[in-house]
Chains A and B, each alone.
Chain A
Amino acid sequence: MVGTPVLFIVIPLLAAFLIPLLGMLWKELVRIVPGLVLAYMLVLSVNLLNHVLIYGPIVEVIAGWRPPLGINLVFSAFSGFLVTLVVFMGLLIWVYSYRFKRNVDFEPAKKYFLLLMMLITGSVGIILTGDIFNMFVFIEITGISGYALTAFYTGRDSAEASFKYLMLGSIASTFLLLAIMIIYSQVGTLNMADIASKMHTIKPVYKIISFIFFITAIGIEAEIFPLNGWAPDAYTEAPGPVGAAFAGIVVKASVYAIVRYVYTIFDLSGAYDFLILIGLITLIMAETAAIRQERLKRMLAYSSIGQMGLVMVAFGMGTEEGVFAALFMILNHAIIKSLLFFSGSYLVYNSKHKYIKEVNGMSKYLPITSLLFALGAFAIVGLPPFAGFWSKLSMLTAAADSNMLFIIALVLIVSVVELVYYLRVVNRIYFFNKEEKTEPKKPTFNALIVMITLGALILVIGFYPDAITGILHKASADLMDKGQYIHDVLSLNK
């Protein structure tokens, strides 16, 4: 074995504490070191994932105390897959922003890279941890990095967006603590597996109350419908890569948290239907909002919220096919939405308000960026032969298997809506004349590399979906097997 899961947290933390010192030695190091750390994490996660797929999950004990006494990290097929995805996206975002932030002073640049690294580390921690209070700590790490990154540009109205995000996040942490304490007061333990094995002893009313508190809290981070007021503003005001990081990383980690609670910890049968319900409401509200948006980044943000609603619905089916479809959509959404954010932020680079009409005729000036944006747009709508097609197809078959015909109808309607508002943008890029005021900005070399990588991935998954489905099947089987999870964690207790 090459390493253990705890290194995912410790190495970035060590690097974070070191970065201020390194910055005193050589200023370029503050940009390079986070990239090295993320590259290391990617290598580690790929190695561990290979190991886990063959030999079964790794449960890492911390401070020498077996669960449920100490905190433990669980690297299974499911969490390992998400960690690999998150770290991979993180590395791409780092490459993208490496030169993007050239024109910024040294101090903010140092803080930007440090906070970006911690945003990724916090998300990895949320996914890996096997302890509900430890998850709270990682959610706060992610949150604080997120607030600061949203407010990165001093010129824009970013402080407003960040303040909104912070207020909701702060209320979320209150609810999360209440949920944790209700559970703790009943079972006297904070370990997820231990709680899951003792869940049947808790009175149903406590279960429901703490579940509601919990969903409210995580729902704010996961952009579930009435709680996502912060998201469009934050996506618009934050720097482009940070928007991609929210869509590709933070939301994924929060959805993981919800799924872990619903599938493993709580044994409420109504929780699945509840997921479908909130997923559907989120989906409908977000897609109807997206079609009305005038600004490109807001439109992408609402589309992102809608996709997460769809993922929630897929998880809510509670079948292995449903989980498979959800994981496939998570993967595709991370890749495609990042591509859209990256290319989109170049299409409206020099504009103050990022209106959609400002992309008019950009195909003549930014041919590659425009092509990649169009590719992303077609892929996210689910047109064959791109990646999004297979995930939507697996969603439809999963819904058909569970006899949920209304979901099939809704997915098709939503796809049409998505097609309308994405085609509108693509149409403007290719067939409209350029507005006079807009000045195209050529993407940097790094940005181009990242966008082309993402575009290539979309095509690869689109033509050879089998490359990825094996891992996804193992990951979804791993999530469904609750007894195995509890056994894996608690059998160390000898």
Chain B
Amino acid sequence: MNNTYFDLLDYMIYGTAILIILIGLYGALVKKSLIKIVIGLSVVDSGVNLLIVAIGYLKGGTAPIFSPGYLANPIKMVDPVPQALVLTAIVIGFGVTAVALALVIRLYRHHGTLNIDEIKDLKW
């Protein structure tokens, strides 16, 4: 099952997804600007979603859609479950990001700044 020619590529897809997660987490934990923190969190979401879809991938697989006109063989289809889960995860990620941005607007309204060093209660 394991095709040795494509090993590097295999590593790259998971590797990229995990790297995106790490970059996002770094941004969320280290950056000083609230907006950048929120961007970091949504970058993390993207990385996780990529990782989830990659788990369901099948080499040479087709989309899990039984349309007329092309060979629809269930055995050759990629796993549809992670795709359905990712749909849910994306929507939830959107909801959380929207709430986060609303909070950022509130904080800006209150303190007139986006720098977390100047908002004393945000440090821990």
Known: A166-B100, A169-B96, A170-B100. A151 touches B55 (CB 8 A): no
Nearest chain A residue, comparing its CB with the CB of B86? A177
Look across to chain A and name the residue whose beta carbon is closest to the beta carbon of B49: A177
Interface stretch of the complex, out of A155-163, A299-307, A357-365? A155-163
Given contacts A144-B95, A144-B99, A170-B96, contact A159 B110 (CB under 8 A): yes
A137 to B90, CA, bound (A): 12
Instruction: Flag if A167 contacts B41 (CB, 8 Å).
Output: yes
Contact A147 B103 (CB under 8 A): yes
In the complex formed, the residue of B with least CB distance to A182 is: B55
Indicate if B121 sits at the interface (CB-CB under 8 A): yes
- Complex contacts, B34 vs chain A, CB 8 Å: 163
Choice from B21, B103, B107, B122 contacting A174 with Cβ under 8 Å: B21
Query: B96 to A177, Cβ gap below 8 A?
Result: no
Is there contact, CB below 8 Å, between A162 and B103? yes
**B92 near A174: Cβ-Cβ < 8 Å:** no
Shortest CB distance B102–A (Å): 8
Interface size class of A (residues with CB under 8 A): 20 to 34
- A353 smallest CB distance to B (angstroms): 12
Identify whether the interface residues of B are mostly helix, strand, loop, or mixed: helix
Interface residues of chain A: helix, strand, loop or mixed (majority)? helix
| CB–CB B103/A163 < 8 A | yes
Name which residue of chain B comes closest to A154, CB basis: B106
Q: Which residues of A contact B122 (CB under 8 A)?
A: 160, 163-164
Minimal beta-carbon separation of A107 from chain B (angstroms): 14
Closest to B37 in A: A167
CB pair A233 B100 closer than 8 Å = no
Please indicate the chain A residues that have their CB under 8 angstroms from the CB of B78 in the complex: none
Q: Which of A148, A178, A180, A181 has the most C-beta atoms of chain B within 10 angstroms of its own C-beta? A: A181
Q: What 0/1 pattern do residues 174 to 209 of A give for CB contact below 8 A with B?
A: 100110110011000010000000000000000000
User: Which of A144, A148, A159, A181 contacts B55, CB < 8 Å?
Assistant: A181
**In contact, B89 and A177 (Cβ under 8 angstroms):** yes
A345 close to B (CB within 8 Å): no
The answer on a CB contact under 8 Å between B44 and A185 is: no
Contacts of B103 in A (CB 8 A): 147, 151, 159, 162-163, 166
- Chain B neighbourhood of A121, CB < 8 A: none
Q: Mark A48-79, 1 if CB is under 8 A from B, else 0.
A: 00000000000000000000000000000000
What per-residue 1/0 map shows which CB atoms of A136-155 lie under 8 Å from chain B?
Answer: 01001001100110010010
Q: Would B99 and A181 count as touching, CB distance under 8 A?
A: no
- For the complex, is A7 an interface residue (Cβ under 8 Å from B)? no
From residue A52, how far is it (CB to closest CB) to chain B in Å?
30
Minimum Cβ distance to chain A for residue B92 (Å): 5
**Alpha-carbon gap, A340 to B21, bound state (A):** 41
Distance in Å from the Cβ of A224 to the closest Cβ of chain B? 16
Q: How far is the CB of B96 from chain A (nearest CB, A)?
A: 5
A317 to B95, CA, bound (A): 39
A-B contact pairs, 15 of them (CB 8 A): A140-B92, A143-B96, A144-B96, A148-B99, A157-B110, A159-B106, A160-B119, A161-B121, A163-B103, A163-B107, A164-B122, A167-B28, A174-B21, A177-B52, A181-B85
Q: Show the binding face of B for A, using Cβ within 8 Å.
A: 21, 25, 28, 34, 37, 41, 44-45, 48, 51-52, 55, 81-82, 85, 88-89, 92-93, 95-96, 99-100, 103-104, 106-107, 110, 119, 121-122, 124
Chain A to chain B: the 8 pairs with minimum beta-carbon distance, closest first: A160-B121, A159-B106, A140-B92, A163-B103, A170-B41, A157-B121, A229-B124, A159-B107
